[in-house]
């Protein structure tokens, strides 16, 4: 028995003295009890953290907290993209569209995700890049409460995991193809009806429903990049219960006028409030539970007009507002400024025009054609190697490939291989961080390097009657002009019906002996062009044909000095005919020509048509005949 007691004391004694090696003010048998009374275990943990591996322990605690936060939002942190959460303190009672407008007035290209109030009365939103987050953070205490002008909201920014999951890149491509196949360019509509059952997804066996948050985020990005000009959107039959993620479309497709939300699970009007930023004129909400909450049809109409005051067609029925509030919402209409008349380029002096046209024709003759890789080597003599004394640098050439957004869509380049070549050497200042470390490799310097680069570029065919020349800077030592127009390249280069692209080329040229000019700087910009933009460009060319009959501007003394650069006998005859950029036998083109001729001449449509028919639909020739004979045309011919 006594042995057992001694054994217990030994165990107790060993336990009490277990941490004797650590510094402690307490000694003796009472140290254990004293340590308990003082919270010695907490002190012990603090010492271990401070003396052993504190940073590792802190990191593990932070990782554990991050995993817990990710689990609380329904996913793992590694499956979620990194975003920046912006918290606008105490702005939760302010409407999201008011916050969006306030930030947009101070920031270009503000396109947030999920603007919504939190449970603490703050307004939350997410942005994907650090630059945007820092720009918004700089607005702290600059955005005012609309109901209390003296109150300015503080703003806090935190880098965190998004509350939506990542999508594999291959699935994003499938979604992009599916969305692209549902875009109707004729009426600028996007039909996402029953999107999850798209044949593209069934073929690959993947679940892509609009009820999944990450899918809505991906579609928002696709719309932003390619289809931001749409005016009609259908989300019919997608089982949508909330519209938080649909609200992401507002800043990415701001021109929506027609919205179809039929056959969804929307139950409350506060979901529609999230889409208040759109100026909807036609709305469909058939077979949604929200309709059953109204016993009176007029109450339903009043609810819709309270959110979308411009609606005139609701569920296929024409409706009117009891009080016209459109003007109060949109504000007074501003008068559109009168645009100057379209001209077919600007050339300040005929002699300069002849010189530059001769240079362009010779240049493009060598640049185009199936033998272009060899013939372009002859452009060696077009680029200056020793510039005038004011500069100590060689001739330079840069190329930029960027599919330009024109307000409606951002098209795809028709030849992928050609685009990849251009992109590898693209000197695009919008993506400077990608090439700033090797800029010397993409800026070609010297005649040999430039000729070699031009020879390696994809073969081309320029559409000659689409070219527009603007001479915009003239002095007695140099001249700068821009040539723009349409062309085909790569696999489309020599097809009569091949897809066309757009180019803009800026030359700075210098005078040389014998009336020659040489290139000091050459900047080439290439872009795909959508069917809509192509039609607009052709219309501009048509409008410019009549305006080009006017006399050019008067030249000043500097222009006269540069006129000495003209070449003897330049442009004695017109170049051989080349393929046109549009088909005058096309009824749509003819209709547009008639409309423009009526606008320019003031004649009625039947007389304008007859004038164009008499000149075999040659717009310029018809314009000249009209100018010569307009005094003899009967008054009845005019509008």
Which tens digit of pLDDT belongs to each residue from 72-126?
Answer: 444 455 688 899 999 999 888 888 888 888 888 777 778 899 998 888 889 999 9
Q: Where do the domains of the chain lie, and which CATH numbers do they carry?
A: 77-161 (3.30.70.330), 169-329 (3.80.10.10), 350-565 (3.10.450.50), 587-637 (1.10.8.10)
Least confident span in 66-70, 381-385, 500-504, 508-512: 66-70
Per-residue pLDDT band at 27 (split at 50, 70, 90): very low
Distance, CA of 623 to CA of 627 (rounded, Å): 6
Q: Above 60 in pLDDT, residue 473?
A: yes
Q: Which of 350, 351, 375, 379 lies closest to 515 in space, CA to CA? A: 351
Average pLDDT of span 11-23: 50
Q: Is the dihedral of CA 141, 144, 150, 154 positive or negative?
A: negative
| 232-281 confidence digits (pLDDT tens) | 999 999 999 999 999 999 999 999 999 999 999 999 889 999 998 899 99
Higher pLDDT, 367 or 71: 367
What pLDDT score does 322 carry? 64
What pLDDT score does 62 carry? 57
CB-based burial label for 65 (10 Å; 0-12, 13-18, 19+): exposed
CA dist 413 → 467, 490, 612 (Å): 20, 11, 35
Per-residue pLDDT band at 546 (split at 50, 70, 90): low
Element at 451 (helix H, strand E): helix 447-456
Q: Above 60 in pLDDT, residue 386?
A: no
Contact 358, 568 (CB under 8 A): no
Higher pLDDT, 22 or 378: 378
Residue owning tokens 């540069």: 562
What pLDDT score does 395 carry? 85
The mean predicted confidence, pLDDT, of the chain is 77
Helix (H, G, I), strand (E, B) or coil at 482: strand
Distance, CA of 522 to CA of 395 (rounded, Å): 8
Q: Which of 284, 287, 314, 310 lies closest to 299 in space, CA to CA? A: 314
Looking at 248-407, which runs of residues are DSSP E strands?
258-260, 282-284, 313-314, 317-318, 396-401
Q: For the chain, what is the total number of helices (H) and then of strands (E)?
A: 23, 20
Per-residue pLDDT band at 478 (split at 50, 70, 90): confident
Region for residue 514 given its phi and psi (left: phi exceeds 0; alpha: psi -120 to 50; beta: otherwise):
left
Distance, CA of 31 to CA of 505 (rounded, Å): 87
Highest-confidence segment of 93-102, 326-335, 572-581: 93-102
Q: Above 90 in pLDDT, residue 462?
A: yes
Average pLDDT of span 464-486: 88
Per-residue pLDDT band at 327 (split at 50, 70, 90): very low
Distance, CA of 532 to CA of 524 (rounded, Å): 23
What pLDDT score does 385 carry? 52
What pLDDT score does 232 carry? 94
Per-residue pLDDT band at 637 (split at 50, 70, 90): confident
What pLDDT score does 583 carry? 62
Per-residue pLDDT band at 382 (split at 50, 70, 90): low
What pLDDT score does 357 carry? 87
Q: Which of 52, 106, 251, 87 lies closest to 158 in space, CA to CA? A: 87
Highest-confidence segment of 126-140, 214-228, 322-336, 396-410: 214-228
Element at 367 (helix H, strand E): helix 350-367
Per-residue pLDDT band at 66 (split at 50, 70, 90): low
Mutual angle of helices 169-181 and 213-226, in 10-degree steps:
60
What pLDDT score does 249 carry? 94
The dihedrals phi and psi of 567, each to the nearest 5 degrees, come to: -100, 135
What residues does 460 pair with on adjacent strands?
489
Higher pLDDT, 386 or 245: 245
Per-residue pLDDT band at 323 (split at 50, 70, 90): low
What pLDDT score does 447 carry? 79
> CA angle 368-371-374, nearest 5°?
100
What pLDDT score does 516 carry? 73
Contact 239, 264 (CB under 8 A): yes
Strands 155-161 and 148-152: unpaired
Q: Which of 284, 276, 282 lies closest to 249 in space, CA to CA? A: 276
Least confident span in 190-199, 229-238, 488-497, 535-544: 535-544
- N-to-C CA span, the chain: 127
Average pLDDT of span 618-625: 79
Per-residue pLDDT band at 489 (split at 50, 70, 90): very high
Contact 81, 166 (CB under 8 A): yes
Higher pLDDT, 196 or 351: 196
Higher pLDDT, 548 or 364: 364
CA dist 245 → 195, 218, 623 (Å): 15, 11, 54
Contact 524, 577 (CB under 8 A): no
Average pLDDT of span 594-606: 80
CA dist 205 → 175, 193, 201, 542 (Å): 13, 19, 6, 50
pTM: predicted TM-score of the whole model, two decimal places = 0.45
Work out the number of other CB atoms within 10 angstroms of the CB of residue 12.
12
């Amino acid at each position: 028995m006594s042995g057992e007691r001694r054994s217990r004391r030994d165990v107790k004694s060993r336990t009490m003295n277990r941490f004797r090696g650590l510094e402690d003010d307490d000694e003796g048998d009472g140290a254990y009890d004293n340590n308990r009374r003082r919270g010695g275990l907490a002190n012990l943990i603090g010492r271990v953290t401070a003396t052993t591996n504190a940073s590792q322990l802190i990191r593990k605690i932070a990782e554990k907290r991050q995993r817990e936060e990710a689990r609380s939002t329904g996913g793992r942190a590694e499956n979620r993209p990194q975003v920046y959460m912006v918290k606008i303190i105490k702005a939760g009672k302010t409407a999201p569209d008011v916050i969006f407008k306030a930030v947009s007035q101070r920031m270009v290209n503000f396109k947030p995700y999920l603007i919504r109030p939190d449970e603490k009365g703050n307004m939350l939103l997410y942005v994907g890049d650090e630059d945007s987050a820092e720009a918004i953070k700089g607005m702290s205490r600059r955005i005012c409460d609309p109901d209390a002008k003296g109150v300015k909201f503080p703003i806090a920014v935190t880098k965190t995991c998004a509350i939506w999951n990542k999508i594999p890149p291959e699935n994003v491509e499938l979604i992009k193809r599916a969305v692209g196949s549902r875009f109707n360019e004729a009426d600028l509509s996007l039909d996402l009806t029953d999107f999850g059952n798209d044949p593209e997804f069934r073929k690959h066996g993947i679940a892509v429903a609009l009820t999944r948050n990450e899918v809505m985020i991906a579609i928002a990005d696709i719309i932003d990049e390619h289809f931001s000009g749409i005016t009609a959107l259908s989300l019919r039959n997608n089982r949508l219960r909330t519209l938080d993620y649909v609200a992401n479309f507002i800043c990415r497709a701001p021109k929506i006028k027609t919205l179809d939300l039929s056959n969804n699970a929307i139950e409350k009007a506060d979901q529609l409030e999230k889409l208040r930023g759109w100026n909807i004129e036609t709305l469909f909400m058939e077979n949604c539970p929200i309709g059953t909450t109204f016993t009176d049809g007029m109450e339903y109409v009043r609810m819709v007009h309270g959110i979308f005051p411009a609606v005139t067609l609701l569920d296929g029925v024409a409706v009117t507002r009891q009080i016209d509030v459109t003007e109060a919402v949109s504000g007074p209409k501003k008068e559109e400024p009168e645009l100057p008349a379209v001209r077919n380029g600007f050339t300040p002096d005929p002699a300069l025009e002849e010189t530059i046209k001769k240079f362009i024709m010779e240049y493009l003759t060598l640049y185009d054609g199936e033998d272009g890789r060899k013939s372009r080597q002859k452009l060696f003599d077009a680029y200056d190697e020793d510039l005038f004394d004011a500069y100590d640098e060689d001739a330079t050439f840069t190329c930029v490939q960027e599919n330009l957004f024109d307000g409606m869509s951002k098209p795809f380049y028709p030849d992928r291989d050609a685009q990849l070549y251009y992109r590898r050497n693209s000197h695009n200042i919008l993506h400077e961080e990608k090439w700033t470390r090797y800029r010397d490799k993409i800026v070609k310097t010297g005649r040999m390097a430039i000729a070699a680069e031009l020879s390696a570029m994809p073969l081309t065919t320029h559409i000659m009657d689409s070219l527009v020349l603007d001479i915009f800077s003239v002095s007695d030592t140099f001249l700068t002009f821009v040539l723009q127009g349409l062309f085909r390249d790569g696999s489309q280069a020599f097809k009569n019906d091949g897809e066309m692209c757009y180019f803009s080329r800026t030359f700075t040229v210098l005078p040389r002996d014998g009336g020659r000019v040489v290139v000091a700087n050459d900047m080439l910009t290439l872009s795909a062009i959508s069917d809509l933009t192509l039609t607009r460009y052709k219309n501009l060319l048509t409008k410019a044909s009549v305006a080009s009959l006017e006399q050019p501007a008067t030249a000043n003394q500097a222009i006269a000095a540069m006129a000495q650069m003209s070449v003897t006998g330049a442009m004695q005859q017109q170049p051989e005919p080349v393929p046109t950029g549009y088909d005058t036998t096309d009824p749509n083109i003819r209709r547009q020509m008639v409309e423009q001729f009526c606008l320019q001449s003031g004649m009625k449509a039947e007389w304008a048509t007859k004038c164009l028919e008499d000149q075999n639909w040659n717009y310029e020739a018809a314009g000249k005949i009209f100018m010569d004979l307009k005094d003899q045309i009967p008054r009845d011919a005019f509008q």
